[in-house]
Amino acid sequence: LAAAAQSLRGVEQETIALFERNTPSVVFIDTFVEQRDALSSNILELPAGTGSGFVWDRSGHIVTNYHVIRNAAEASVTLLDPKTGVKTSRRASLRGVDPDKDIAVLTAALRPVSVGTSNGLKVGATVFAVGNPFGLDHTLTQGIISGLGREMRSPTGRPITNVIQTDAAINPGNSGGPLLDSLGKLVGMNTAIYSPSGASSGVGFAIPIDTLALSVASLIKTGTVLRPIMGVSFLEAAQAKALGIDKGVLVLAAPADGPAAAAGMRGTSRSTDGNLQLGDVIMEIDGRTVSTEADMFKALDARKPGESVKVVVARG
């Protein structure tokens, strides 16, 4: 029993050290919107929301979720010194956003987190989430990796793949905060929970660091992320089924100045007598079966802008 207690104290000390080591790199984000006062006509800053983020590098780039800062006019970041309890707030400026992966980069002069890798993660491994749930700044929760290779939708509808599932408690306000391994290395960014009530249900999701790193590097360098597009608008799978299309992606429009139109792809239209003429249905891209729009985006994400793809369509 004495040995077990000694071991437990050792584990606890490691957890405390992990928290104290990483807390200076985790920020509490307040966002604000601007509104004109009806009486004075002055521009007022009103609170819009809260979230979490972490310092990426020594240049002060802060990584968070795009949905945390979306529509905000201003943002401030607050840090906590775990040893003194002193909080410091600073204004942050926006460097760039990648809505397709739900990632945003801000800038402020802060201390960076220690970056690891998501390659080689195992289900059952211990992880820690640091964030600001319900506005309670710099909260630490512990859990395990519950699953790997999950998929979730970004704010634009484009799929985010290889998502990490964890049972570490994640609640509103945790979005944008770091998911750390037992060595205190960053392995993901806490992004979403599966919960009808909106509170933690033991099913949380984090964007893996290897996905994050690609977008963040581009955002820091250029302020944007370029991804290939086909140049079509399409009908989502649930709506397409109502038209009798169970597989493939129905093209609604292929703008004349886009790559799809140049390749001869046809959009949906109405005939002179008012009947609906369905457009092409994308069935394959580069030999990959396309059953839904998620399949289409996955195939495109394997390519770079400017490259050509082979597309198989069904034409009525």
Positions marked active-site: 67, 102, 175
The partner residues of 36 in beta bridges, in order of sequence, read 43
DSSP structure string for 297-310:
HHHHHTS-TT----
Residues in the chain: 316
Residue 177 near residue 26 (C-beta atoms within 8 A): yes
In whole angstroms, what is the distance from residue 159 CA to residue 93 CA?
A: 27
Q: What DSSP character marks residue 203?
A: -
The closest alpha carbon to 206, from 4, 69, 64, 43, belongs to: 64
In whole angstroms, what is the distance from residue 158 CA to residue 298 CA?
A: 9
In whole angstroms, what is the distance from residue 207 CA to residue 24 CA?
A: 21
Residue 164 near residue 133 (C-beta atoms within 8 A): no
Q: Which helix (H) or strand (E) holds 286?
A: none
Residue 275 near residue 216 (C-beta atoms within 8 A): no
In whole angstroms, what is the distance from residue 95 CA to residue 144 CA?
A: 32
**CA diameter of the chain:** 87
3-state DSSP percent of the chain in helix, strand and coil, to 5: 20, 40, 40
Q: What DSSP character marks residue 100?
A: G
Buried b (16+ CB within 10 A) or exposed e, 101-122: bbbbbbbbebebbebbebeebe
